[in-house]
């Protein structure tokens, strides 16, 4: 068996005295897997993604991603870790409205110190591959929801992350745009991208995930491999 | 608590930084305004106010005790026209050596002093103000008008050379004495055989003009035996002298006062408007759930007023505390006795600060409250796209690290806020530049005024009784018969002598000008004396002269013209080769080479020699040796550093420093406020950046970079404005005192200094941005991303 890309051991995340948002979650994900995390609102899905991204720290347990102990990283180190290994896609896109599409996309590379020219070449490739190259110099405000999410995906892929995290990427989209993004994630997975995807949308989970994890009250209630591999 | 109150409470709690900044801004603004207002009040006709406050003496009269009686003098209080009188007080003129505690080494000759015997400082006329210590209660004590508390004086020419201890320091606006002792002490201080004198202080019903004073004086003179009134000093002369001195400082202090008040208004308005403006979205939500616009307006006014009121209270306390040293400086400059902040200043500032806060909060909340709810809900997330996009595009092309270029584009997204920040920095930079410039100018003025580059002086005159203010090596005097050649020989014989010149003083008349003109005739090269030239050059030999602005104005002449002096019936033409800066001047004066008057006045000998010692020479030792050599000639050597105005310079520097710090700090607070607002608005974007891998250091860099352009622009604007203000105010200071200012007083900035001051704008901006930058660095990404 290959070394897992993600390894969570007895991870808990508690806020104050509330019942834990995550409780003793253990989980391994191999490279190339596409995992869909399902569960009711408040079950800890976003918390799990935040822990993987190094945006949050567990109250107990260890989080290892691509050989990095994410739970032990300081602020600056976790930023560098995100730059190098993580791409994030959000429900509400989180594009920067005052930057053009291409400037949004190159940003992670520039934060990592990559020269502008080189970053733009990579961005141009990505935008073309995602079919939004004609909007490269537009501002996000002018794009449709589906187009915006494509830009967000392009930005997430900019630094060739080992792990793509997506938190309800279709949650703010109409059906057609949702389909669009679903296909895109499916294609990425087919190209070998490891993906952890949070969604309420069972269809999305089934169409582009190889494995679904059911969270209930911060615990893994079910973990099943589905034959969605195409 | 009402629902509304609860909502607003929660808002205040969430916006803790904003609340603190509002309070701080109110505090600083109030402190600065209390100081500024006090300066304005103190600078309004300071002499007249002090004179009225102390019931100053319109006439200070001296009587010969041998020719009149105390009963006759007391009766002069009832002469027609006399409104009030104090006295008779016995007086004496003493010569003394410095003892312990003076600014001088012990044993140095002090200028002669008029000492008045008064049982207490009060009275119907000339309420002397004690500024330190207490009034005299017994023998051996003196209250001095200038010598520090605790010093001792050894009185010369009296049996046993008694010692006087300074137990109090007092100020008489009418300059009625140099010191006060108990009445019985005067007998002990009067040398055997010396004339006994009395002082009477009068206030008159009519004393506004020289003619009225002359008439009043004549009435008093007629009421006592002929010849009993030996001398009198009119308050108009004292006022003229004081006004000329204070005129120099008034424009400077007024400028500072105005800067402080304007800055305060700007900052408070800005901060409050910003604090309410940033809540627009929240106001939209409140309205969406059913709050009326009026409720919203009231709530936000309250929200701004609470911290502003707290800040105002602290600011008033701080302002009143800081006003103590500031007013003691103005007292020193103006010769006044203001003891604290005028109550009307405190009241006006409190009312102003709270009123301004309320009105600004009301206007901003009204604007937010009137906004359509949907629009209100749409604002306040990120700056409206469209604005600043060009700047962001251009910045992105700069070959700079991305966090820097991201930050550089920020100011363009919020033009109004950026303008307010630039304004705050312009003010701070203007204030700092102006203060430093004017401080340097005043130091130059003081230096020029003293023209005391000499280390040692040798007066060759026997002191006469002066009254009132000590006239430093000027005034009526009787030359001794000391041989000038013998004196110069003794001076030349001293190894430490570097240079010396002699000054003789005589009265001449100038053709076409009424009244007399004082000529200072210099023997030897006096060009190092420390006189500053406004135009032209120092004289180079007989027949040439330099004159102050007042002389040129009075005679209608210009540099290059020749005027004719009439001296003992001889006409002496002199060519004016320069305009000398002499802010001392109250009379017409001409400074020339001694050779100019040689033919007209062959017996004119220097009445003072001024000596500079070689570098490294110990002045006290030099004085002692020279003094020993000169004693047989009947003259003595003295230090020339006695009445150095260094405390005035120090006080002015301290004042300048306090005011500048206040203004700069207020400017920094303005920046802090704006950057806090900006960072708060961008907190979501910040979360995105961090999710994409922006490190805390990069976040700090971005926030700091966002104020760099603002700081540089503010500095680059404020420094020239401050320098221009200085170049306007300083000549205005001169003109209000009737003099021109030499270039050395006006051109005080070094180019490097200006560049550093300009960078100071950047420093203010960066300091103001540091706190929110640190905050940006610490913002938790997960939290920031949830703010939507
Ligand atoms: N910063 C926080 N402080 C306190 N509690 C929090 C915080 N973040 C999340 N929680 C709590 O943790 C629990 C899990 O939250 P999380 O956002 O992970 O849920 P989720 O599964 O993503 O829900 P949704 O489907 O609604 O997005 C919730 O009960 C939430 O209230
Ligand atoms: Mg969630």
> Does residue B698 belong to the interface with chain A, where contact is any CB pair within 8 Å?
yes
Give residue B514's pLDDT.
66
Q: Give the pLDDT confidence score for residue A52 in this predicted structure.
A: 93
Q: Are B400 and B698 in contact (CB under 8 A)?
A: no
Using an 8 Å Cβ cutoff, are B666 and B428 in contact?
yes
Question: With 60 as the cut, is the pLDDT of residue B787 above it?
Answer: no
pLDDT band at B784 (very low <50, low <70, confident <90, very high): confident
Instruction: Please tell me which of the candidates A111, A112, A141 has its beta carbon nearest to residue B385.
Output: A141
List the one residue out of B220, B12, B396 whose CA is nearest residue A107. B396
Report, as an integer, the average pLDDT of B182-208. Answer: 85
Both tokens assigned to B421: 């920040």
Would an 8 Å CB–CB cutoff place B784 in contact with chain A? no
**pTM: predicted TM-score of the whole model, two decimal places:** 0.70
Mean pLDDT value of segment B409-433: 86
Q: What number is the average pLDDT over the span B405-434?
A: 86
Nearest to A66 by CA among A137, A122, A4: A4
Confidence at residue B469, expressed as pLDDT on a 0 to 100 scale: 29
Domains in chain A: ranges and CATH: 6-229 (3.40.50.300)
Q: Dihedral of CA B629/B635/B640/B642: which sign?
A: positive
Task: Give residue B14's pLDDT band: very low, low, confident or very high (50, 70, 90).
Answer: low
- Give B533's strand partners: B580
Average pLDDT on A194-207 reads 88
Of the spans A72-76, B260-264, B645-649, which averages the highest pLDDT?
A72-76
Does A211 sit in the ligand 1 pocket, CB within 6 Å? no
Q: How many CB atoms lie within 10 A of CB A172?
A: 15
Which of these ranges, A32-46, B106-120, B172-186, B662-676, has the smallest mean pLDDT?
B106-120
Closest C-alpha to ligand 1, atom 4: A15
pLDDT in the model for residue B462: 44
- Dihedral sign, CA of B207, B212, B217, B219? negative
**The pLDDT value given to residue A94:** 85
Token output for B633 = 């000639």
Is B393–A103 a contact, with Cβ atoms under 8 angstroms apart?
Answer: yes
Could you give the CA distance from residue B242 to residue B649 in angstroms, rounded to a whole number? 17
What pLDDT score does B749 carry? 92
Task: Name chain B contacts of A94, Cβ cutoff 8 Å.
Answer: 684, 687-688, 691, 785
pLDDT at B381: 47
Flag the least confident range among B184-193, B214-223, B389-398, B653-662: B653-662
Q: Which atom of ligand 1 is nearest to the CA of A47?
A: 18
On the 0-12 / 13-18 / 19+ scale of CB atoms within 10 A, B569 is exposed
Task: Please give the mean pLDDT across all residues of chain B.
Answer: 79
Which of residues A184 and B738 earns the better pLDDT score?
A184
More confident residue, B251 or B538: B538
A15 lines ligand 1 (CB under 6 A): yes
Any ligand 1 atom below 6 A from CB of A92: no
Q: What is the mean pLDDT of residues B117-130?
A: 85
Tell me the percentage of chain A whose pLDDT exceeds 90. Answer: 45
| Mutation site for B-interface testing, chosen from A44, A57, A74, A98 by largest number of B Cβ within 10 Å | A98
Three-state secondary structure along B302-361? HHHHHHHHHHHHHHHHHHHHHHHHHHHHHHHHHCCCCCCCCHHHHHHHHHHHHHHHHHHH
Q: Looking at residue B102, what is its pLDDT?
A: 59
Given pLDDT bands bounded at 50, 70 and 90, which one contains residue A229?
very low
User: Are residues B422 and B710 in contact, defined by beta-carbon separation less than 8 angstroms?
Assistant: yes
Res A196: pLDDT: 95
Mean pLDDT of A97-108: 88
> CB distance from A144 to chain B under 8 Å?
no
* Interface membership of B328 toward A (CB under 8 Å): no
Which of A13-27, A116-130, B470-484, B774-788 shows the lowest mean pLDDT across its residues? Answer: B470-484
Segments of chain B assigned to CATH 2.40.40.20: 456-639
User: What is the three-state SS of A19-80?
Assistant: CCCEEEEEEEECCCCEEEEECCCCCCHHHHHHHHHCCCCCCEEEEEECCEEHHHCCHHHHHH
A194 CB within 6 A, ligand 1? no
Please give the pLDDT value at position B380: 46
Q: What is the mean pLDDT of chain A?
A: 88
Task: Tell which atom from ligand 1 comes closest to the C-alpha of A198.
Answer: 22
Confidence of residue B377 (pLDDT cuts 50, 70, 90): low
The residue written with tokens 């400037």 in the block is A103
Place of tokens 């000339």: B126
Mutate to test the pocket of ligand 1, among A44, A168, A170, A204 (most ligand atoms within 8 A of CB): A44
Q: How far apart are CA B452 and CA B475, in angstroms?
A: 17
* Percent share of chain B, pLDDT over 70: 83
Residue A177, pLDDT score = 82
Ligand nearest to the CA of A13: 1
Fold of B456-639: Barwin-like endoglucanases (2.40.40)
Q: Which of these, A68, A47, A54, A115, lies nearest to B695 by C-alpha position?
A: A54
What pLDDT score does B471 carry?
A: 33
pLDDT tens digits, one per residue of B153-191: 888 778 777 888 889 988 887 778 888 999 888 888 887
Instruction: Count H helices and E strands in chain B, helices first.
Output: 23, 23
B403 shares contact with chain A (CB less than 8 Å): yes
Q: Among candidates B61, B139, B152, which has minimal Cα distance to B103? A: B152
The verdict on the CB of residue A42 being under 6 Å from ligand 1 is: yes
DSSP alpha helix (H) spans, A130-209 = 145-157, 175-190, 202-208
Task: Please report the sign of the dihedral spanned by the C-alpha atoms of residue B781, residue B782, residue B787, residue B788.
Answer: positive
Ligand 2 centroid–CA A167 distance in Å is 7
What angle, 0 to 180 degrees and rounded to 10, lies between the N-to-C axes of helices B293-334 and B46-53? Answer: 80
Name the residue with higher pLDDT: A204 or B252: A204
Q: Which of B10, B728, B112, B67 is nearest to B477 (CA)?
A: B112
Return the minimum-mean-pLDDT range out of A175-189, A192-206, B771-785.
B771-785
Say if CB B500 and CB B612 are below 8 A apart. Answer: yes
DSSP B379-436: TTSSPPTTTTHHHHHHHHHSSS-HHHHHHHHHHHH-HHHHHHHHHHHHHHHHHHHHHH
pLDDT over 80 at A79, yes or no = yes
Interface of A with B in 53-82 (CB under 8 A): 53, 55-56, 75-76, 79-80, 82
Q: In this structure, are residues B766 and B704 in contact, taking their beta carbons and an 8 Å threshold?
A: yes
- Taking the C-alpha atoms of residue B555 and residue B359, their distance in angstroms, rounded to an integer, is 57
Least reliable range by pLDDT among A64-73, A196-205, B1-10: B1-10
> For residues B669 and B24, is the Cβ–Cβ distance under 8 A?
yes
B745 vs A197, which has greater pLDDT?
A197
pLDDT confidence of A35, banded at 50, 70, 90? very high
Radius of gyration of chain A (CA): 17
What is the distance between the alpha carbons of residues A184 and A192, in angstroms, rounded to a whole number? 13
Whether A43 lines ligand 1, by a CB cut-off of 6 Å, is yes
The secondary structure of chain B in percent helix, strand, coil, rounded to multiples of 5, reads 55, 15, 30
C-alpha A4 – ligand 1 centre gap (Å): 27
CB contact under 8 A, A88 and B691: yes
Neighbours of B553 (CB within 10 A): 13
Residue B374: predicted pLDDT: 59
Q: Name which of B6-10, B272-276, B398-402 the model is least confident about.
A: B6-10
Q: Give B783 to chain A, closest Cα distance, Å.
A: 9
CA–centroid distance, residue A102 to ligand 2 (Å) = 28
Q: Rounded CA gap, B209 and B211, in Å?
A: 5
Q: Is the CB of A199 under 6 A from ligand 1?
A: no
Residue A14: the pLDDT is 92
Distance from CA of A56 to the nearest CA of B (A): 7
B518 against B475, higher pLDDT: B518
Mark out the alpha helices in B190-234 (DSSP H runs).
Answer: 210-223
- In angstroms, rounded to a whole number, what is the distance separating the alpha carbons of residues B41 and B258? 11
B739-759 pLDDT, tens digit each = 778 888 888 899 999 999 999
Range with the lowest mean pLDDT among B111-120, B255-264, B586-595, B639-648? B639-648
Q: Poorest-confidence range of A193-207, B104-118, B175-189?
A: B104-118
Reported as a pLDDT band with limits 50, 70 and 90, residue A228 is: very low
Higher pLDDT, B705 or B518: B705
Higher pLDDT, B503 or A1: B503
Count of H-run helices and E-run strands, chain A? 7, 10
Pick the range with the lowest mean pLDDT from B79-83, B285-289, B375-379, B450-454.
B375-379
């Amino acid at each position: 068996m290959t070394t897992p890309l993600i390894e969570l051991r007895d991870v808990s995340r508690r806020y104050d005295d509330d019942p834990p948002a995550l409780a003793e979650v253990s989980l391994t994900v191999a490279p190339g897997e596409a995992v869909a995390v399902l569960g009711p609102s408040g079950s800890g899905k976003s918390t799990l993604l935040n822990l993987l991204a190094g945006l949050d720290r567990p109250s107990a347990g260890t989080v290892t991603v691509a050989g990095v102990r994410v739970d032990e990283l300081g602020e600056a180190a976790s930023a560098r870790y995100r730059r190098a290994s993580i791409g994030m896609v959000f429900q509400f896109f989180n594009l920067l409205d005052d930057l053009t599409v291409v400037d949004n996309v190159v940003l992670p590379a520039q934060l990592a110190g990559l020269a502008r020219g080189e970053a733009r070449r990579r961005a141009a490739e990505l935008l073309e591959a995602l079919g939004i190259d004609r909007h490269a110099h537009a501002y996000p405000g002018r794009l449709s929801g589906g187009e915006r999410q494509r830009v967000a995906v392009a930005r997430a892929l900019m630094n060739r992350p080992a792990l793509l995290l997506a938190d309800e990427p279709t949650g703010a989209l109409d059906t057609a745009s949702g389909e669009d993004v679903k296909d895109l994630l499916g294609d990425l997975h087919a190209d070998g991208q490891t993906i952890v995807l949070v969604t309420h949308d069972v269809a999305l989970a089934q169409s582009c995930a190889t494995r679904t994890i059911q969270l209930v009250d911060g615990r893994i209630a079910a973990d099943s491999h589905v034959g969605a591999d195409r | 608590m009402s629902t509304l109150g609860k909502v607003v409470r929660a808002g205040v709690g969430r916006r803790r930084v904003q609340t603190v900044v509002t309070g701080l801004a109110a505090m600083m603004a109030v402190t600065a305004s209390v100081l500024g207002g006090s300066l304005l009040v103190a600078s309004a006709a300071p002499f007249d106010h002090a004179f009225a406050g102390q019931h100053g003496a319109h006439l200070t009269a001296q009587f010969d005790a041998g020719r009149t009686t105390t009963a006759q003098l007391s009766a002069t209080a009832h002469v027609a026209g006399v409104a009030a009188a104090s006295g008779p007080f016995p007086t004496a003129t003493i010569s003394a050596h410095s003892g312990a505690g003076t600014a001088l080494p012990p044993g140095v000759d002090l200028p002669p002093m008029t000492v008045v015997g008064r049982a207490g400082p009060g009275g119907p006329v000339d309420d002397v103000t004690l500024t330190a210590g207490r009034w005299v209660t017994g023998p051996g004590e003196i209250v001095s008008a200038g010598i520090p508390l605790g010093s001792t004086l050894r009185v010369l020419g009296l049996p046993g050379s008694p010692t006087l201890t300074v137990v109090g320091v007092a100020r008489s606006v009418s300059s009625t004495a140099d010191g006060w002792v108990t009445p019985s002490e005067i007998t002990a201080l009067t040398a055997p055989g010396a004339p006994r004198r009395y002082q009477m202080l009068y206030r008159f019903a009519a004393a506004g003009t020289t003619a009225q004073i002359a008439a009043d004086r004549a009435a008093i003179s007629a009421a006592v035996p002929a010849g009993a009134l030996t001398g009198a000093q009119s308050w108009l002369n004292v006022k003229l002298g004081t006004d000329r001195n204070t005129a120099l400082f008034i424009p400077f202090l007024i400028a500072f006062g105005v800067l402080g008040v304007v800055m305060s208004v700007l900052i408070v308005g800005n901060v409050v408007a910003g604090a309410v403006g940033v809540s627009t979205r929240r106001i939209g939500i409140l309205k969406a759930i059913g709050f009326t616009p009026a409720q919203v307006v009231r709530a936000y006014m309250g929200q701004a007023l609470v911290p502003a009121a707290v800040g105002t209270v602290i600011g008033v306390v701080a302002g009143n505390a800081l006003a103590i040293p500031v007013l003691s400086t103005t007292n020193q400059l103006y010769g006044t006795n203001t003891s604290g902040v005028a109550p009307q200043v405190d009241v006006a500032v409190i009312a102003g600060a709270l009123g301004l806060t309320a009105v600004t909060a009301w206007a901003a909340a009204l604007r937010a409250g009137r906004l359509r709810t949907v629009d209100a809900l749409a604002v306040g997330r990120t700056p409206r796209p469209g604005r600043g996009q060009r700047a962001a595009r251009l910045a992105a092309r700069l070959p700079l690290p991305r966090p820097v270029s991201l930050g550089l584009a920020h100011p363009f997204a919020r033009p109004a806020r950026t303008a307010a920040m630039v304004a705050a920095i312009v003010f701070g930079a203007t204030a700092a530049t102006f203060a430093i410039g004017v401080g340097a100018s005043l130091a130059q003025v003081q230096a020029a005024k003293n023209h005391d580059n000499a280390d040692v002086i040798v007066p060759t005159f026997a002191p006469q009784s002066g009254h009132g203010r000590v006239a430093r090596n000027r005034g009526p005097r009787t030359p001794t018969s000391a041989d000038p050649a013998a004196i110069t020989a003794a001076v030349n014989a001293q190894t430490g002598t570097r240079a010396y010149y002699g000054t003789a003083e005589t009265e001449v008349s100038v053709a076409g000008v009424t009244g007399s003109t004082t000529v200072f005739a210099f023997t030897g090269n006096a060009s190092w004396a420390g006189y500053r030239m406004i135009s032209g050059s120092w004289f180079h030999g007989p027949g040439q002269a330099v004159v102050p602005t007042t002389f040129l104005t009075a005679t209608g002449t210009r540099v290059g013209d020749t005027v004719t002096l009439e001296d003992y019936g001889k006409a002496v033409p002199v060519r004016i080769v320069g305009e000398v800066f002499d802010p001392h001047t109250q009379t017409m004066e001409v400074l020339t080479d001694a050779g100019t008057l040689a033919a007209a006045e062959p017996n004119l000998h220097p009445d003072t020699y001024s000596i500079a010692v070689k570098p490294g020479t110990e002045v006290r030792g030099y004085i002692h040796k020279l003094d020993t050599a000169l004693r047989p000639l009947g003259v003595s050597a003295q230090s020339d550093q006695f009445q150095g105005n260094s405390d005035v310079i120090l006080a002015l520097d301290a004042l300048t420093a306090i005011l500048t710090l206040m203004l700069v700090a207020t400017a920094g607070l303005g920046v802090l406020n704006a950057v806090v607002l900006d960072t708060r608005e961008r907190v979501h974007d910040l979360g995105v950046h961090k999710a994409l891998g922006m490190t805390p250091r990069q976040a700090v860099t971005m926030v700091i970079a966002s104020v760099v352009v603002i700081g540089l622009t503010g500095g680059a604007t404020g420094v020239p404005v401050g320098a221009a203000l200085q170049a306007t105010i300083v000549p205005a200071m001169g003109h209000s005192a009737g003099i021109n200012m030499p270039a050395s007083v006006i051109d005080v900035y070094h180019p490097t200094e200006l560049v550093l001051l300009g960078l100071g704008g950047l420093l203010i901006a960066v300091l103001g941005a540091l706190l929110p930058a640190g905050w940006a660095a610490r913002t938790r990404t997960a939290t920031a991303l949830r703010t939507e």
